[in-house]
Amino acid sequence: PAIYLVDRLRLRKALVVLTCIVGRFFWLVAAAIPWLLPEGMRVPVLLIAIAVYFGLGAIAGCAWNSWMRDFVPESIMGGFFAKRMAISTALGAILSLGAGFGIDYFKTQFSSELTVYSILLAAGGLSGLFGCFFQMRIPEPVMAPVDDHGLMSLLAEPFRKGNFRQLLVFMGLWSFAVNLAAPFFTVYLLKRIGLSMTWVIGLSVLSQLVNVVFFRIWGKLADRYSNKSVLTVSGPLFIISIAVWPFTTMPDSYFMTIPLLIAIHVLTGISTAGVNLCAGNLALKAAPKGRATSYLAVNSLVCGIAATIAPIIAGFGADWFATKQMTVDLSWISGEVRQTLPAIDIKGLDFLFILSVIMGFYALHRLLSVREEGEAEERVVFRELILETRKVVRHVSNVSGLRTLTYFPYQQLTKILPRRKDEEDVDDIDV
């Protein structure tokens, strides 16, 4: 219905602003529930408010994506959305921490905790309404007319385009792979490793801080080369970060647990910045300009279905794997002395992480079938990533040892891999 509404009215800006204003208003409704309604009606009205908010959000998102596809030039798309996502991530991290500490403090100042949550909901709703004022000031390109072939024809059109169909396969598989593991990271930290909530929040903030820094780097590389080129580097980095999780317990916490967790969250922050930025931008660029509504809506639909199914399957899988364990030990026997070291110890959620890694690498394999203008070799993007990271560390760090690490010639590691024949031919021509 959102696709049909956007294509028929062709007033994307008006749709976004109107649905956002009404949607934010329902946050104010939710905030007022404890004061206006009896206890028996509170939960049903809250559910209705949430449903209306997300329903209107679906319409706003459909119109917004199509609007931004036509508004933002392709040459600066990476840098533009990188800056936008960096600001929103940084602000979100700060406000989340502030809200968390605020709840702990103010719930002792009021007789009911509901008062604190009502204040937060009202503040969020009012700030959202204030943001709609700035949406009104964004120019909107004239939307090209769309042939009226019916809703089903609009939904089927993206699947008829070979390149976009390959992109949908990648996006669906990737969303499924990520959501097999991601919902259980916090559970793993709390239950399996036994960390406190302070550690969990601290690691999450660390990942978000790294995220903010690398949005700019990935955005610059995406504009210089292509979104697909960035994904071929950031995607494997994210899959590797998932693959390291089982090694944080061997079989229980040990001296490398905390260092590995810090490394995982740093690597996750680096990689998710590139994946989240460039996966969305790749879909934006692959959708035809002026007719992007149905393409981007179908992309969101495929990702949403995969992201919904994966945690459900993972939940059943977690219950089944809870009693399963696979152990590989290394033994040293000298006479009557026998020493055993656990080399691999996989149990419970570890199996889900392994399945997620396998699915993730298969999704990246399917990414190779997607075509995008300006594609570059992985080694080229990796080299530029190291150079950009070196610049950032030089500027933000006064620790000489950390700065010295940036002078290691990491790009030389890419020369270990065999060179493609076409690269050798280009070098011969340059000479």
Q: Which of 337, 371, 405 is the C-terminal boundary of a domain?
A: 371
86 in Cβ contact with 216 (< 8 Å): yes
Together in a domain, 131 and 266: no
Query: How many domains does the chain contain in total?
Result: 2
Q: How far apart are CA 82 and CA 275, in angstroms?
A: 11
Beta-carbon contacts of 205 under 8 Å, excluding residues fewer than 6 positions away, are: 93, 97
Question: What type of residue is 159?
Answer: F
Strand bridging mode 325-334 / 337-347: antiparallel
Q: How far apart are CA 299 and CA 307, in angstroms?
A: 12
Q: How far apart are CA 162 and CA 270, in angstroms?
A: 31
Together in a domain, 354 and 304: yes
402 in Cβ contact with 393 (< 8 Å): yes
Question: What type of residue is 343?
Answer: A
Q: How far apart are CA 89 and CA 211, in angstroms?
A: 8
Six token digits for residue 322: 């809870």
248 in Cβ contact with 264 (< 8 Å): yes
Q: How far apart are CA 342 and CA 316, in angstroms?
A: 28
Helical H segments across 225-256, by residue range: 227-244
Q: How far apart are CA 150 and CA 157, in angstroms?
A: 11
Kindly give the parts of the chain with pLDDT less than 50: 397, 400, 402-418, 420-431
Together in a domain, 46 and 122: yes
Together in a domain, 234 and 330: yes
Q: How far apart are CA 40 and CA 108, in angstroms?
A: 26
Q: How far apart are CA 225 and CA 217, in angstroms?
A: 12
Residue 215 inside a domain? The answer is: yes
Together in a domain, 203 and 327: yes
Residue 19 inside a domain? The answer is: yes
Full domain range(s) for residue 65: 1-143
Q: How far apart are CA 136 and CA 378, in angstroms?
A: 41
- For 416, which DSSP code? G
Residue 424 inside a domain? The answer is: no
Half-sphere exposure at residue 154, Cβ-oriented, CA atoms within 13 angstroms: 21
8 in Cβ contact with 150 (< 8 Å): no
Residue 30 inside a domain? The answer is: yes
Q: Which of 319, 342, 371 is the C-terminal boundary of a domain?
A: 371
Q: Which of 351, 371, 391 is the C-terminal boundary of a domain?
A: 371
130 in Cβ contact with 122 (< 8 Å): no
Beta-carbon contacts of 128 under 8 Å, excluding residues fewer than 6 positions away, are: 20, 23, 24, 27
Q: DSSP for 130-155?
A: HHHHHHTTS--PPPPP-----HHHHH
3-state SS, residue 330: strand
- Residue 198 maps to which CATH number? 1.20.1250.20
Residue 212 inside a domain? The answer is: yes
Together in a domain, 280 and 159: yes
